[in-house]
């Protein structure tokens, strides 16, 4: 695919400066050649972009002066514009309508002819798929699941019974949606499993990463809001509610019945204890253990600072006697006064 | 299913107070209506339960007075009783005996006719299944695995060769049992893999969560005790021994050759270094890094307390010079004396 | 298989002392009997090995004196030698050449007759496999993937389109290679997904653990070097580069565009923020959060020391006011001077 800069701005807005050259793809500044378009969003990369052989550059009005004499598309938010151009060059593949000969579809399931059903897919009794869904090789759609239009299950996804997906939900390989929550009652000398009878409800345009797990509710549902983006290997326990458009990086663990607000940013490997609430637009640093509700939006953190092992070992000893140190200081202050 | 309170107490014990009404399901206090039964276990929810429209309530003798005039089942442990009622209303589904046409079963495997073998299941040579097992779509049972009666493998589970499961073991989707332990010897300029020749032995009534991994032993077995409950995305390395009835929350990682006692409670995302032993009935807080053996039962923790990013950054600087602070205090104390 | 000690040293070097007995397998010192060979590498296990009933023992020259009168193989590095003996007794299984009747192979894929293609395997259009690959039950090889000779995909592995594997790469069950990186641009009120158009390139002799995820690059590739060993449940984000012969223990998370050098050792559950570089031969302790580049090889750590919950709670309070304590000490010192 070859597009001129003006063909791009006709679709996405922005303003062409310099020659209206043709480009065939995006590329990082360091690797781009004359047929590529690249972008300058973070000023840290200014000189790398200045030295780039790219045929054209996406840049903000503010930084356009740094690229004097180059062919530009000037846009309000170059990073967002870059994303939009990438989507022009790489539109999501449409469903290749049809059912593979090896797929196993229960006669009571509803699968529109516009859907792509891959090899060895299994679709359970009473499941209902919307138009244009892509269910790829080896995925299992449990009984009575409902999928909106244009959902994509990559290979080897598992949906337990009774999951409800909105439209355009994408789930990556190895993800497991709707497994039993970890509900146990202690019966004197052993654990009694509490049947997990709720479902999982996932909103429109949500995306779920590879090998992520989202458990069904104990009673009532686990709810993933509209436009929520979840990375790989995230664990979301029973009865959590994740607010609309919240983004959750990889390796995060969220205990049962946590309510996270809308537009939150959750850093990688953050962990949440159960039964807490996080305000809208809260940002949590990577590796943070969230031990209590957060009522005020802001940026929160709790990770232990990195040191050489030798320095760390020296300090860690004293961390174990911090309260002792505190008392000592108090005592010293008293004597001085 | 509709049951009167006296039908329930006839099965489970406990005492009916008020009208012997019929209920059709459990429900959380806030959502329950007249046909539901709910419960009061944690006094924190007292007013929520008092205001509930539930037709009946499970409660302890001690708290029954708070629910004057309501229809009650009085039980010694309302949470446990709730679990038992849930199991009455939602018994585990029995095997739908039969082998799906697409399943691939090695002729040398033993699969009783009472088993349910789902679509695209693969059962390897010499595998032996007990009565009434349910092996669901896409699961793979490796060669020479042995499963006791009534085991359940949810869809897309993988058992490597030579795993041994007791009776009524449940394994959730995406779990991988018996993959090679991470055993390497350094050969000057590259790593040499050490063949992992042990197995995995899982006791009766154990439950393994979605996408959890339990490696086979290097030599000798990895052992999961009777009644052990393991949540999602837990990693258990080669030659670990997990004692009977220990419960392990999600995202926990346990390094090689760790021995955890019986009746332990391991909080989410806790991590264990290798070759340590944990006493029976030890409780480990969420996010704790367990860096040494624990010889005395008790509650242990090590997570970094949550703060606003600004406060955290201010303190983290000083954490790096804690030993310096300690020396300073010692010095000040000396001068004072 | 029965081998005399001299047959072993003929293959692997080392020197026989005592009788040239026959052994049939390796065993841990405590479990070995006369037909087993065991080893002494860590002096901590000296008395256990001395008391072992093993027929023969692998030991270094330095420690051979401790095992006077026993049948020995004296080797420079007993642990490495043990690994080599283990590989003699347990060679990796060769491919059982042939394609299972239920496998689905696109006509445009290249699959040499020497390959073993298991039940329900799916191989996409344009994929090219080398000689002697083993693709086990339920694995999915995406379109245009390239695999070198003798690769092994254990059951239920997923390779997205366009992955490139060197020779003798082993991937364990549930691993997902090439899923979309977590690339998002914020569009005012929702997230716009950035198409992830790069690939994953994995070097010769790499091994990838169960349920590990390695994302494709955003633009350009994610690169795993030669001889890299990755344990279970590791997450490697888009555009990471992992240097040759680096070993990564379980539950590690590596954010986008991280470059880790060669011969590094990454402890379990370590986490890396994005866009940093780690020098060759760096060692990172388990549970460490790596928040910045490391330019000098060495051993680094950051984990919070374990305590009883009571002690921890007492100290954690003061950790929140560490900078306050620091100021106080400074103030006390000033007044004293």
Residues with Cβ within 8 Å of C173's Cβ and at least 6 positions away in sequence, in order, are B140, B158, B160, B176, B179, C154, C155, C156, C157, C210, C211
Q: Within a domain: residue C324? A: yes
- pLDDT in 10s for each residue of chain B, 337 residues: 899 999 999 999 999 999 999 999 999 999 999 999 999 999 999 999 999 999 999 999 999 999 999 999 999 999 999 999 999 999 999 999 999 999 999 999 999 999 999 999 999 999 999 999 999 999 999 999 999 999 999 999 999 999 999 999 999 999 999 999 999 999 999 999 999 999 999 999 999 999 999 999 999 999 999 999 999 999 999 999 999 999 999 999 999 999 999 999 999 999 999 999 999 999 999 999 999 999 999 999 988 888 899 998 888 888 888 888 888 888 888 876 6
Angstrom distance (rounded) from CA B130 to CA B146? 8
Looking at residue A300, its pLDDT comes to: 95
Higher pLDDT, A215 or C313: A215
Cα–Cα nearest to C233, from C255, C252, C207: C252
Residues with Cβ within 8 Å of C141's Cβ and at least 6 positions away in sequence, in order, are C109, C121, C122, C123, C124, C127, C129, C135, C147, C153, C159
- Return the number of other C-beta atoms located less than 10 Å from residue B204's C-beta: 18
Report yes or no: C268 at the B interface, CB cutoff 8 Å. yes
Q: Within a domain: residue B54? A: yes
Looking at residue C290, its pLDDT comes to: 95
Please report the DSSP string for C24-51 in residue order.
-EE--TTT--TTEEEE--SGGGHHHHHT
Angstrom distance (rounded) from CA B266 to CA B282? 8
Q: Within a domain: residue B94? A: no
Cα–Cα nearest to B137, from A134, C212, C156: C156
Q: Which of C118, C251, C310 sits opposite B253 (nearest CB)?
A: C251
Q: Within a domain: residue B66? A: yes
Structural domain boundaries, residue C41: 3-89
Task: Compute the nearest-CA separation of C225 from chain B (Å).
Answer: 12
Q: What tokens were used for B104?
A: 């691939």
Q: Within a domain: residue B270? A: no
Q: Which residues in chain B have their CB less than 8 angstroms from residue A192's CB?
A: 80, 83-84, 87
Residues of chain A whose pLDDT is less than 70?
337
Report the percent of chain C where pLDDT is more than 70.
99
Q: Within a domain: residue C312? A: yes
Query: Three-state DSSP class for C69?
Result: coil
**What amino acid positions of A are annotated as catalytic residues?**
238
Choosing from A62, A89, A116, the residue where a domain stops is: A89
Q: What does the mean pLDDT of chain A come to?
A: 96
Residues 126-165 of C with CB under 8 A from A: 138, 140, 142, 156, 158, 160
Choosing from B58, B89, B120, the residue where a domain stops is: B89
Report yes or no: A239 at the B interface, CB cutoff 8 Å. no
Looking at residue C337, its pLDDT comes to: 60
CB contact under 8 A, A309 and C298: yes
Sheet strand arrangement including A222-224: A128-129, A146-147, A163-165, A200-202, A222-224, A241-242, A259-260, A277-278
Looking at residue B337, its pLDDT comes to: 60
Query: Three-state DSSP class for B303?
Result: coil
Mean local confidence (pLDDT), C37-48: 95
Q: Which of C140, C219, C237 sits opposite A156 (nearest CB)?
A: C140
pLDDT band for position C331 (cuts 50, 70, 90): confident
Choosing from C89, C113, C147, the residue where a domain stops is: C89
Task: Compute the nearest-CA separation of B20 from chain C (Å).
Answer: 46
Quickly tell me which residue has 């347990």 as its tokens: C90
Report yes or no: B104 at the C interface, CB cutoff 8 Å. yes
Q: Within a domain: residue A154? A: no
Cβ contacts of C41-49, under 8 Å, gap ≥ 24: C41/C77, C41/C78, C41/C79, C41/C82
Task: Compute the nearest-CA separation of B239 from chain C (Å).
Answer: 12
Q: Which residues in chain A have their CB less than 8 angstroms from residue B12's CB?
A: none
Question: Annotated catalytic residue: which of C238, C241, C245, C335?
Answer: C238
Report yes or no: B320 at the A interface, CB cutoff 8 Å. yes
Looking at residue A323, its pLDDT comes to: 86
Angstrom distance (rounded) from CA A253 to CA A240? 11
Neighbours of chain A (3+ CB pairs under 8 A): B, C
Task: Compute the nearest-CA separation of B207 from chain C (Å).
Answer: 18
Q: Which of C87, C245, C304 sits opposite B191 (nearest CB)?
A: C245
Report the percent of chain C where pLDDT is more than 90.
89
Q: Which residues in chain B have their CB less than 8 angstroms from residue C283's CB?
A: none
Looking at residue A164, its pLDDT comes to: 98
Q: What tokens were used for A301?
A: 């953190």
CB contact under 8 A, A193 and B83: yes
Angstrom distance (rounded) from CA A144 to CA A106? 11
Query: Three-state DSSP class for C141?
Result: strand
Domain CATH for C50: 3.40.1390.10
Q: What does the mean pLDDT of chain C come to?
A: 96
Q: Within a domain: residue B323? A: yes
Task: Compute the nearest-CA separation of A318 from chain C (Å).
Answer: 10
- Taking one residue from A and the other from B, the number of pairs with CB-CB distance under 8 angstroms is 218
In chain A, the number of structural domains is: 2
Looking at residue A170, its pLDDT comes to: 98
Looking at residue A315, its pLDDT comes to: 85
Q: Which of A195, A253, A332 sits opposite B250 (nearest CB)?
A: A253
Quickly tell me which residue has 């580069």 as its tokens: C241
CA–centroid distance for B315 within its chain: 36
Report yes or no: B329 at the C interface, CB cutoff 8 Å. yes
């Amino acid at each position: 695919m070859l597009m001129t800069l003006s063909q791009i701005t006709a679709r996405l807005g922005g303003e062409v400066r310099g020659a209206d050259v043709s480009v065939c793809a995006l590329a990082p500044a360091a690797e781009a050649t004359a047929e590529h378009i690249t972008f300058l969003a973070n000023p840290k990369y200014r000189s790398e972009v200045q030295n780039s052989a790219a045929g054209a550059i996406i840049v903000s009005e503010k930084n356009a002066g740094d690229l004097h004499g180059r062919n530009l598309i000037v846009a309000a938010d170059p990073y967002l514009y870059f994303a939009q151009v990438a989507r022009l060059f790489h539109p999501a593949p449409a469903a290749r309508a049809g059912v593979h000969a090896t797929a196993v579809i229960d006669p009571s399931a509803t699968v529109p002819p516009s859907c792509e059903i891959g090899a060895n897919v299994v679709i359970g009794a009473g499941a209902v798929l919307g138009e244009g869904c892509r269910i790829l090789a080896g995925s299992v759609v449990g009984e009575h699941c409902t999928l909106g239009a244009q959902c994509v299950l990559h290979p080897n996804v598992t949906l337990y019974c009774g999951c409800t997906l909105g439209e355009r939900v994408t789930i990556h390989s190895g993800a497991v949606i709707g497994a039993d929550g970890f509900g146990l009652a202690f019966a004197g000398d052993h654990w009694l499993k509490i049947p997990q009878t709720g479902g999982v409800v996932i909103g429109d345009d949500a995306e779920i990463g590879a090998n992520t797990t989202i458990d069904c509710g104990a009673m009532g549902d686990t709810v993933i809001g509209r436009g929520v983006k979840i990375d790989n290997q995230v664990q979301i326990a029973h009865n959590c509610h994740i607010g609309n458009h919240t983004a959750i990086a990889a390796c995060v663990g969220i205990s049962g019945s946590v309510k996270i607000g809308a537009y939150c940013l959750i850093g990688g490997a953050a962990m949440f204890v159960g039964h807490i609430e996080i305000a809208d637009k809260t940002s949590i640093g990577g590796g943070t253990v969230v031990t209590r509700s957060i009522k005020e939006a802001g940026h929160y953190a709790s990770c232990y600072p990195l040191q050489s092992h030798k320095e760390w070992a020296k300090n860690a000893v004293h961390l174990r006697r911090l309260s002792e140190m505190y008392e000592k200081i108090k005592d010293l202050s008293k004597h001085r006064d």
